[in-house]
Structure 1
Amino acid sequence: MAGKFGFRFLYGDQPLQLYFYAVPHLCLNLMGYWPDMLDALQQRALFHFVVLGVGVATEIHAGLQFAQNGEISLALETFCPAGTSAVTLLKMYLMLRYRNDLFNVLANLRQMLFDGASQSDEKQKIMRKHLLMASRFNFWPLSAGFFTCTMYNLKPLILALLQYWGQAEQIKWDMPFNMTMPSFLLHAPLFPVTYIFIAYTGYVTIFMFGGCDTFYFEFCVHIATLCNFLEVDIRALFRPYDGLQQMDDLRGTLFVGCLVRLIKRQNDIIELTAFFRQRYWIITLAHFLSASMVIAFSIVELMINGGNGLGTLLYIGYTVAALSQLFIYCYGGTLVAENSLHLATVMSSCPWHICQPRHRRYIMLFIMRSQRALTMAVPFFSPSLVTFAAILQTSGSIIALAKSFQ
């Protein structure tokens, strides 16, 4: 590990505990929203809530003014970040409201993943593969969002610099995001302070949605890991009885005791998934609605300002960031569904016919329950790669329609 620095969770040779919720902890702890059992709110959590609240209110007001004046391009340019920030504000509230419940989710996951994991090299390999994948996947939407926000913040400075190099008679200074601000804040000596404040609201949005969304994806990855652990234990359960034609009473008693413990673990996974889904369904639904709106606005804006190189780069980055967020929600839902369904396949492929008839009923019930996939469903839809493909298809249709009117 010598010579490695920075984001250690991106490397594959770190301790397993280091990967556990690495990116969500980085983002949410920085903003003061990491779930814990403390009843007192952290000051930086309240500070960032107020900062973003001011940003959302002034941004929406500016967007409405542009729309009323018929400045559609500026209105779309304003509503894109405003919609994301407004949903982020909702996420901040819900993370505070459910912080104790989410802390319990973390505690249960940690116990189920790491207790006894050292007993099996196979389980450690599974865990390392999934934890490293979660850290790297989670880092991508955070990086894409950070790039987009930085482009928003640098765009006015770059344009002013180009005007200076072009020896313009008067340099026009704009803000990173369109917000309604008192006029005295937009002139010297307070202009730099206002610029920094507006730029900072963008980074609050980035780290909050990065933390909330990656928290969801990491939970899905860990549920998939626990299902894989069950698969390993199911195969290990039948291994001592290879070659038997029929279990006797003593072996049958030992077998059914181990099987009942596996069934209880499956029940724990199902209950934990339902518990988390109930706390996160508003965030999931709101995110899909806002991301769909942002993608639509970005596509229209790209059609309008297709000749503006900097504007094109900005909205391409925005669209990539929005699609990255949607992808981790959809991929997370697919991981949970597919790995929970695979339990039925694993159990049915084992030599369950050697069990005594009264014990086979337990196995049949396990298989029947596993055939009903665990889902991260919210009202109206269930996040999955099928849903993501449908969103991409719809986006492509919008682009084709928009081009036909050019």
Structure 2
Amino acid sequence: MAPGLFQFSRTDSLEVSFFRICKWILRFLGFWPPDPLNRRTIIKIVINLTLLGVAVIGEIRLAWILGTRDPLQALDVICPFLTKMVTWMKLVCFLIYRKELELILKDLFEHCKKDTKNFEKNSMIAKVSHFISKWCVVLYLNHLFTSCLFALKPLIVWGYQYFVKEDRNIWVSLPFQAALPYEDMTQVNDKTLYTFIYCCLAHTGTVTIFGLSGVEGTFLSFCMYISVSYECLQEDFKMTVKSHTLNNIKPMNNDVLYNDLTKLIRRQQNIIEIFKRFNQVYKFMVFFHFVFASITLGIVLVNLLLISGISKLIYLSYALGAGNQLFTYCYGVESVNKNCFKLTEVLYFSDWYKCNKKVKHLILFVLIKSQEGSALKVPFFSPSLKLFASIIQTSGSYFTILQAVL
């Protein structure tokens, strides 16, 4: 861990705070887009994707074997499988769109950098950067806690059986259940090989932690920087119109105002274009995440009711993590959409009526464009806090019904 990584503050410059936590997380896996694809990075990518892919195949194979014989244990296997599969897909998408993400990051940084030249706007960006860093740490620690519980549970159970029950022949079960290649992995009689498999499966949990935290943190960071760019644009429009309409506006002032507004509209178009490119990269990742997260959340609620012991704590943490992930996507998109639409209020309540017809038409164009919002276009739905509330409410209703039935 880099020294002082989590010692961030609002006084940090944009160069330091820009995607700070996401950069560290994704660099660990070799998936940070601006980094060069050298030999070391390629080796890390291949190892991490291969191990994660093998774990996914082993877990779905075991779930298939247990499906008819022990459905409860099969459900216990499916949860990590779904999470790892979604993580693998997201990391592959990051690899495919690596160059495009690098360009988007560069354009977004340059756009925000121009806003930091103004003290007030710099304070707004610093505040958002600080919030992003804190939330990314929360996501990372939540995923880390869940993965550690999965990895330590077999050791805790083994220690209890070995020292309390004095069962000297017990094996340490694997951190994640998988048929690699056996249904009962204790058939691997070589303890060195078994230990190696244990470490590889535990590492797949680490890859999942960093993969989910990095991808979700990057999504939130993109959205929040786009959102604060709209906030800065609101200040620009407000001050520009106010400075030219403070007194009786003259024809010459109308021309100057028109030129100043044209420059601001170009900045608005730049933000819209960056967000559209970002939308193209993330839309299928977000779609598949919501689909599989809904399934995972349902399975987790069933497991919470049927499983006892330390496993209940694991799935309680799992449910919290699934909720945090959904909230991250919904909050990010909601923030962008809200601040884009808020631009219409800023212009409507300005003294636009003092301007000539040409300037009024320009302001009207901005109003129409801003009213469209900047909703993330995902197949069949768009993330929002309203959607998040609906998912949580529905999950709570199903949980209550299951609790009453079981």
TM-score range, shorter chain: over 0.9
Which residue is equivalent to 1:44? Answer: 44
Task: Summarize the Cα distance change of 1:186–1:230 in structure 2 as closer, same or farther, 3 Å threshold.
Answer: farther
Closer/same/farther in 2, CA of residues 186 and 214 from structure 1, 3 Å limit: farther
Letter in 1 for 2:21: V
Unmatched segments (≥5 aa) in structure 2: none
* 3-state secondary structure, aligned to 2:166: coil
Q: Given the superposition, is the C-alpha separation of residues 375 and 33 from structure 1 closer, same or farther in structure 2, using an over 3 Å criterion?
A: same
Equivalent residue number for residue 77 of structure 1: 76
Question: 1-side partners of 2:189 and 2:256: how far apart?
Answer: 76
| Cα pair 1:9 1:19 within 8 Å, conserved | no
1:272-283 matches, cutoff 5 A? 272-283=274-285
Match of 1:156 among 154, 157, 160: 154
Partner of residue 209, structure 1:
212
Superposed CA deviations along residues 327-374 of structure 1, whole A, max 9, x for unmatched, are 100000100110000000001111111111221110111111111111
8 Å Cα contact 1:185-1:194 kept in structure 2: no
Identity %: 28
Residues 37 and 200 of structure 1, relative CA distance in 2, 3 Å threshold: closer
Measured after TM superposition, the shift of residue 289 of structure 1 is 1.2
Displacement after TM superposition at 1:135 (Å)? 1.1
User: TM-score scaled to structure 2, two decimals?
Assistant: 0.94
Q: Equivalent residue for 1:376?
A: 376
RMSD across aligned positions (CA): 1.7
Q: Is the contact between residue 37 and residue 100 of structure 1 (CA under 8 Å) also seen in structure 2? A: no
Corresponding residue for residue 302 of structure 1? 304
Partner of 1:12: 10
Superposed counterparts of 1:82-93, under 5 Å: 82-93=81-92
For residues 320 and 127 of structure 1, what CA distance do their matches in structure 2 show?
29
CA distance in 2, matches of 1:17, 1:327: 27
Partner amino acid for 1:278? Q
1:377 Cα offset (Å): 2.5
Q: Specify whether residues 186 and 155 from structure 1 end up closer, same or farther in structure 2 by C-alpha distance, changes over 3 A only.
A: farther
The alpha carbon displacement at 1:143 in A equals 1.0
Q: How much has 1:150 moved relative to structure 2? A: 0.4
**Matched residue count:** 398
Kept in 1: contact 2:245–2:355 (CA 8 A) = no
Alignment of 1:55-204 (within 5 A): 55-69=55-69, 71-118=70-117, 120-169=118-167, 170-182=169-181, 185=188, 187-204=190-207
Query: Per-residue displacement from partner, 1:3-45 (whole Å, max 9, x unpaired)?
Result: x954335433433322211122111111011113746662211
Structure 1, gaps ≥5 residues long: none
Report the CA distance between 1:318 and its aligned residue. Answer: 0.6
Give the corresponding residue for 1:326: 326
Structure 1 pair 314–10 and aligned structure 2 pair: CA distance change class (3 A): farther
- Paired with 1:29 and 1:186, the residues of 2 have a C-alpha distance of 37
Tell me the amino acid that sits aligned with residue 384 of structure 2.
S
Could you tell me how far apart the structure 2 residues matched to 1:343 and 1:238 are? 13
